[in-house]
Amino acid sequence: MSEINLEQLTATVCQVAKDAGDFLRKERLSFQANRIEEKSANNFVTYVDKAAEELIVERLNRLLEDASFITEEKTVSYKEKDYCWIIDPLDGTTNFIYDNAPYCVSIALSFHSDILLGVVYEVCRDECFYAWKNGNSYLNGKKIHVSTVDNFDNSFIGLGLPYNSREFKPVIINLMNELYGRVNGLRINGSAAISLCNVAVGRFDVYAEAFINIWDFAAGALIVQEAGGKVTNFTGNGDFLKGHHIVSSNGLIHKEMIDLLSPFESRFLEDDK
């Protein structure tokens, strides 16, 4: 790990993400809706997801000689190695299908269980968020920081609607009942990676979603942390990479969100098994 210049590597990965984003942007202009596949109920994949993933994998293969891959579309098989690229070639596929912002490319690099760098490129706004371990977080070259809101009632909160609607419906209903009319605003944008980046840049004060995967949040989580924020699972445990649920915040009002989720703690502990 000491031989890798993380700042330089992150800059190169940013260009890979932007190139993949350019591909997505061009493909959206001639998108063929009849080539959509459904992986599970309302969980879609397109030929564009797969082609973008292949492009990213081919480019990243040149950067590290001995690294494995965890990818959403599984165009490359996982082999256990010290370094691992974690890739979502198109986070926000449903948004992409309906020509609705946002959607993005998300790339992270891990060393065992440690995230070393994260890059999220949002195509619609041409915004590249990135961070490397102990190196701060940036948006299009400018350092970013989480918000300073310290009153939960004054917060602007991002939520997600995962594909596992049966399991998550009681949780989202409870959150809406507790938050709607109490906080300054609630938003669901359809992209976990961008929601995390919105926390990092101060557009959201809190973001929470469950039943998502490591490629959805690995890059964004590091970007939040390096921007001064906090990331845990729904039970407040910082070892969130092993699970499928995540809460990120500016750190000042994190506990209030965890407290709202505590009635469902057993549900999410079971999800981590």
Complete domains list, the chain, with CATH: 6-144 (3.30.540.10), 152-271 (3.40.190.80)
DSSP reduced 3-state for 264: helix
Q: Residues 190-199: what's their mean pLDDT?
A: 98
Closest CA to 221 of 95, 113, 108: 108
Q: What is the pLDDT of residue 1?
A: 43
DSSP reduced 3-state for 83: strand
Name residue, tokens 């080539």: 35
Taking the C-alpha atoms of residue 256 and residue 27, their distance in angstroms, rounded to an integer, is 42
With a CB cutoff of 8 Å and minimum separation 6, the contacts of 200 are: 129, 131, 137, 144, 145, 146, 220, 223, 224, 226, 227, 229
183: DSSP letter: S
Higher pLDDT, 220 or 262: 220
At 24, is the pLDDT very low, low, confident or very high (cuts 50, 70, 90)? very high
Higher pLDDT, 172 or 269: 172
> Is it the case that residue 42 has pLDDT exceeding 60?
no
Taking the C-alpha atoms of residue 36 and residue 23, their distance in angstroms, rounded to an integer, is 17
Closest CA to 162 of 245, 100, 234, 239: 245
At 163, is the pLDDT very low, low, confident or very high (cuts 50, 70, 90)? confident
Segments in the chain forming alpha helices (H): 6-29, 47-61, 93-97, 165-179, 192-200, 214-226, 254-261, 265-271
> Is it the case that residue 14 has pLDDT exceeding 80?
yes
At 271, is the pLDDT very low, low, confident or very high (cuts 50, 70, 90)? low
At 35, is the pLDDT very low, low, confident or very high (cuts 50, 70, 90)? confident
Q: Residues 91-116: what's their mean pLDDT?
A: 95
Are β-strands 156-159 and 185-187 bridged in parallel, bridged antiparallel, or unpaired? parallel
Q: What is the mean pLDDT of the chain?
A: 92
Name the amino acid, one letter, at 12.
T
Note the residue count of the chain. 273
Helix axes 6-29, 47-61, angle to 10 degrees: 150
Q: What is the pLDDT of residue 44?
A: 59
In 101-219, DSSP assigns E strands to 104-111, 114-122, 127-132, 137-139, 142-144, 156-159, 185-187, 206-210
Residue 183: CB atoms within 10 A of its CB come to 20
The residues that bridge with 108 in the sheet, in sequence order, are: 86, 118
126: DSSP letter: T
At 43, is the pLDDT very low, low, confident or very high (cuts 50, 70, 90)? low
Q: What is the pLDDT of residue 76?
A: 82
At 146, is the pLDDT very low, low, confident or very high (cuts 50, 70, 90)? very high
What's the pTM value of the predicted model, to 2 decimals?
Answer: 0.94
Taking the C-alpha atoms of residue 214 and residue 170, their distance in angstroms, rounded to an integer, is 23
Q: What is the pLDDT of residue 79?
A: 78
Taking only the tens place, the pLDDT of each residue in 165-182 is 888 999 999 999 999 999
> Is it the case that residue 18 has pLDDT exceeding 90?
yes
What are the CA-CA distances from residue 199 to residues 8, 14, 246 (Å)?
A: 25, 20, 13
Q: What is the pLDDT of residue 113?
A: 87
